[in-house]
Amino acid sequence: MKKPTDYSPEEQVQIQAAFDDLMHSNYQKIDKKGEALIKKAFEVARDAHDGQRRKSGEPYIFHPLAVAKIVAHDIGLGAISIASALLHDTVEDTELTHEDIYKEFGEKISRIVRGLTKIKRLKHDKNVSLQAENFRKMILTLNEDVRVILIKIADRLHNMQTMASMPRHKQEKIASETLYIYAPLAHKLGLYNIKSELENLGLKYTEPEIYREIENKIEESKEEQERYIKTFSSIIKDSLKKERLNFKIIGRFKSVYSIYRKMRDKKVSFEEVYDKFAIRIIYKADRKNEKFLAWKIYTTVTDHFKPNPSRLRDWISYPKSTGYEALHITVVGPEKKWVEVQIRSERMNEIAEKGYAAHYKYKHGSSEEVGIEGWLNKLKDLLENQDENAVDFIEEFKLNLYAKEIFVLTPNGDIISLPKNSTPLDFAYAIHTEVGSHCRGAVVNGKLVQLNYKLRSGDVVKIITSPNQKPKPNWLNYVVTGRAKSKIKASLKLEQKEIIEEGKEILQRKLKQLKIKYNDNTINSLVSFFKLKTSQDLFYNVGAGIIDNKMLKNFANARSNVLFDFFKKKLRRKPIDFQITKDEVTYNYDTIVFGPDEQQLDYTLANCCNPIPGDDIFGFTTINEGIKVHKKSCTNALSLYSNYAYRIMTARWIDSSKHDFIVYLKVSGFNRIGMAKDITRMITDDEQLDMKNINLNSQGGIFEGEISLYIKNTEHLKQVINDLKNIEGIENVNRIEKI
C-alpha cells in the first residue's frame, strides 16, 4: 500500500494525533489483537483517502476517524466496529473493492462495510422518497449485522456536527431527515446522549432563530438554575449521608430541543416551561442491593419534598426495552417549583449513557460484542413485509420509536412490554403470530373486552382463540405495534391474492358465456366501466362477489352499442365537488416567489399551518393540488422534507400589503367583569384588523379562549399580540396552528 503523498507534514502530525486520541477513547477494553486490527484499518483508510478533502478543505480521513471515535467512545463498540467505521467510505469513495476488504480484514468487517455501502448506493427514483428507501435499506441490514445501523448513526452525528460549510437548503434537508429518522432511532437504541445531540443540531438547522432564542434564554437563566440546584441538593445531602450512602448529585439542564418540544406541544412560552432541569442522584451499589437503595433514596427525597404520585416512573422493576433502568419522581422543591429527580445506580447510569454496549457488558460479564441480534429482534418483524410502500414502512416503524411503554401480564404472570395505547390484538401478536391471527376476543382482569380496548400497565390479559377466526381489514385500525400491523397485512395480502386468482378464473368463464373475448382490451374496458383503478381490483371484485352476473351482463349490453360506449367513456368521471369555505379560499396573488429564479407560480396556502406574510415558508408540489405553501415550522414539515425532498421548493414572501390572512390566537388569564368587552374593543379599534370569531370560557376565576383574526402580516400580528397582553388580566397570548 502506497504511503500518503497529498498530506502536508503538519496534516500528517494532526492525523496521527487523531488516531492516537481514538486509541485512548475506547469504552471497551481492546486487546493487542484488536489494537493491531484497528491500526491496520486506519492505515488502509488513510492511504485510500489520500488526495480526498471535505468541503471544509480538511483531509477526508478526519471524517472516518471522527466516526470511529463516536463508535468507540459514545456508543461503546469494540475493535471490529471501530475498524469498520474507519473503512466505511473506502469502497464507495476510493479504488478499494469489497474483495480487497474481505481479503485484508475477513468476513465480519467485509459484511459491515458492504451493508454501509449498500445504503449509500441506493439509486434515486423520482417517484419514491430517497430517504424513506434509504432508511428501509438500513433496517434491512439487520439481517446482515446490526452494527451497520450503529455505525450509520455515528456517521450521521459527525455529518451533523460538521454541516456549517454546506448550503442552507442542504442543511435543512439533512437536518429534517435527522429529526425524522435518526434521532428517534438513536432513542430506541438507548443512545440517549447521541439522540439529544442529534435533536439539538436538527433544530439548529431547521429552526435556527428559535434554536438561538432558546439557547440564549437557557444561558441567561443558567446562574439562577445552578443556584436552585445547589439549594435543592443541600437539603437532601445530609439525610442521604446519614443513610451511609455513597452518592453524587448532578443538576442537568434539559436540552434545547426538549424545551422547544414542550413549548410547541403545550403551546407555552419558554418562561412557562416549569421543568427545564432535572436532579440526578447516582449511587454506588452491588447488584443485590440496587433496588433496595433506590427506594431508600426515594423515601429520603420524599421526606423533604412532596411528590406528584402521577409522575412516578418505576423503570427499575420494569426496565425499558432498551435496557434503561431508573426511578423518576417529580417533587415540589424550594420556591414551590416542580423538580424531576432521577435515581440511578452507577451501573444504570452507564447503561443510560452508553446504551446497548453497557447493557450487554453487565448482562454477559464481558466486553465482547454479544447479544445485539437478540436485543434488536423486534425490529426484524417489520422486514417480513418488504414490498410495502417505503413511506408507509417508515411511518409505521416510527410509530414505535418514541412510544411510551406499558407492561401487561399473561395469566401465568409473564410480563410483556408494549407501546402505550396497545390493544389485546397487539398483545396477542406479541405472544405469537398464530395467537394473533386466530384471536376472537380477550379477557382483561377477568372481564371480556373488545379487541380495540386500550390496555394499561398491570392488566392481566387472556386471549381467546378460534381455529375459524382469521385477520380482518378493520383489525389494522385496532393495533399500534409494527409487528401486529405487519402480520395482519401479510395475512390479508395472502387472502387477497387467493381471491384475485379465483376471480380471474371466474371472469374468464363468465366472459366466455357472454361470448366476449378475454383479452387486454376487454379487461381495460371492464376496469373503466366499473370505475376501478387496476385489473387486480377487477379480479378481486369478481372473486369477492362484488361484481356479479347481472353487472357483467350490463357491461355486455353497454359494449354492444359502440356509440354509447364511446360517450360513456368520455362522460364517466364524476365531477369533483369542491366544498369551499371562506377560510379555504385562496387567490393567485403575486406575493410569493418560488425557486432560485424567484418565479411567480400558482399556489394555495396549506390549511394545516395557515402561513401569513413574514412567516418562513416553503413550497410543496402535490400530486393533484399543485403547489401548497407551508410554514417551515409546520408540524408536517419534517415528514415532507424527509420523504419528499425532491418536491420541496424554496419560497419567500415579496409583497402582501393589500391582502389579509387568517391567524388563530389562544389567550388565557384571570377573568374579570368586562374582559370580553375590552378584548373586542381592542380588536375593533384597530382599523386594519377584522375579527372572524372569538370564543372565551371561564371557570374558577381563570379564563381561556380562542380568537381568529384576519391579519396583514407578521409585524401587524406582533403588534396585536402586544396590545392583547397589555389588557388587564391577560397573562398569555400564543399563536396556534388551527382551532
Chain centroid to CA 648: 20
- Buried/exposed code over 110-129 (b: 16+ C-beta within 10 A; e: otherwise): bbbbbbbbbbeeeeeeeebb
Q: Other CB atoms closer than 10 Å to residue 384's CB: what's the count?
A: 13
What is the residue-wise DSSP string for 600-639? Answer: ----EE-TTT---TTS-EEEEE-SSS-EEEEETT-TTHHH
Chain centroid to CA 615: 25
Q: Which residues contact 126 (CB under 8 A, 6 or more apart)?
A: 646
* Grid cell listed for 445: 382482569
Find the Cα–Cα–Cα–Cα dihedral 193, 174, 387, 466, rounded to 10°: 40
* Single-letter amino acid code for the residue at 303: D
Q: Other CB atoms closer than 10 Å to residue 520's CB: what's the count?
A: 8
Coil, helix or strand for 152? helix
d(CA 172, CA 205): 6
| Catalytic, out of 93, 100, 275, 737 | 93
DSSP 6: S
User: Does the annotation count 272 as an active-site position?
Assistant: no
d(CA 289, CA 345): 10
647: closest CA among 609, 617, 619? 619
Chain centroid to CA 4: 42
Handedness of CA 99, 101, 104, 109 (dihedral sign): negative
d(CA 522, CA 292): 76
| Catalytic, out of 43, 92, 104, 353 | 92
- Which residue has 409487528 as its cell numbers? 483
Cβ proximity of 81 and 112 under 8 Å: yes
Handedness of CA 607, 609, 612, 613 (dihedral sign): negative
Q: Other CB atoms closer than 10 Å to residue 580's CB: what's the count?
A: 8
Cα distances (angstroms) measured from residue 668 to each of 268, 270, 671, 673: 11, 16, 9, 15
505: closest CA among 551, 540, 532? 540
* Grid cell listed for 99: 474483495
43: closest CA among 15, 80, 70? 15
Find the Cα–Cα–Cα–Cα dihedral 614, 619, 622, 626, rounded to 10°: 80
* Grid cell listed for 663: 391567524
* Single-letter amino acid code for the residue at 367: S
User: Does the annotation count 238 as an active-site position?
Assistant: no
213: closest CA among 264, 270, 254, 255? 270
Length of the chain: 739
- Buried/exposed code over 89-103 (b: 16+ C-beta within 10 A; e: otherwise): bbbeebebeeebbee
Residues annotated as catalytic are 92-93
